Amino acid sequence: MNNQFDLLIDSFLENKVGIDAGFLSKDLSNGLQQNIRELQKDDLMTDAGIGNNKVKDSQQKMRGDKIYWMDKTRNNIFEREFLLQVDDFINHLNCTCYTGINSYEFHYAIYEEGSSYKRHKDQFNNDSNRKYSLINYLNENWLEKDGGELVVYHDKTVQKILPQSQTAVFFKSDEMEHEVTKANRDRMSISGWLKRI
């Protein structure tokens, strides 16, 4: 059966990193980017922390992005559409790969000019609930000179991905080390994790 999600899942199964350059529709990608701009204007995007400590250390230099957690109850039209698409994706993943995902969390992220995120894995040392990472990019016409590449470390090779709008990237949270190189212009995305709790 051919499904809109098979491109992402098949490339993940083949290469450990799934990529679909058209995962989000253009309208949805633009709407979500507009949401970040509004959150930024209202000063609601806040310094991201590391790990899952209740008290975040905003002085840490590991990552420079600012984030805002998504929430279905906010009733924003684009956010709802995005999370419904995530629900559909999880259903398809659970049916085809028996992954048993039963929860998720997503946040908006903006890397302002000069920001980066050093090499890391997404699963916390003290909490293995995060099974898969799903990142969606919201930046039109991103060029190599804009920096802000996602660099994924495979066993013997290094993969670089530009954060182009509509593109989704999908990998196992406990397996793939990755980093975000310094962005030379505002870089917007939605990062999230599919969880088994």
Q: How far is the CB of 179 from Mn ion (least distance, A)?
A: 8
* Amino acid at position 61, single letter: K
Closest CA to 34 of 191, 188, 195: 188
Residue 180 binds ligand OGA (CB under 6 A)? yes
Q: Please, which of residues 131-170 interact with ligand OGA by CB under 6 A?
A: 135, 150, 163
Residue 131 partner contact from Mn ion, ligand OGA, none using kind-dependent CB cut-offs of 5 to 8 Å? none
In the complex with ligand OGA, which residue's Cβ is closer, 51 or 100? 51
Q: How many residues bind ligand OGA (CB under 6 A)?
A: 10
Please list, in sequence order, all residues whose beta carbon lies within 8 angstroms of the beta carbon of residue 158, skipping any fewer than 6 positions away.
151, 152
Sign of CA dihedral 41, 44, 47, 48: negative
Figure out which of the listed residues 122, 137, 188, 190 binds Mn ion, where binding follows CB under 5 A.
122
Residue 189 binds ligand OGA (CB under 6 A)? yes
Return the ∠ at Cα 22 (arms to 19 and 26), rounded to 5°. 145
Q: Please, which of residues 64-123 interact with ligand OGA by CB under 6 A?
A: 109, 117, 122
Whether 19 and 9 have beta carbons less than 8 Å apart is answered as: no
In the complex with ligand OGA, which residue's Cβ is closer, 165 or 191? 191
| The residue to which tokens 């992005």 are assigned | 65
Whether 131 and 196 have beta carbons less than 8 Å apart is answered as: yes
Residue ranges that bind Mn ion, judged by CB under 5 A:
122
Residue ranges that bind ligand OGA, judged by CB under 6 A:
109, 117, 122, 135, 150, 163, 178, 180, 189, 191
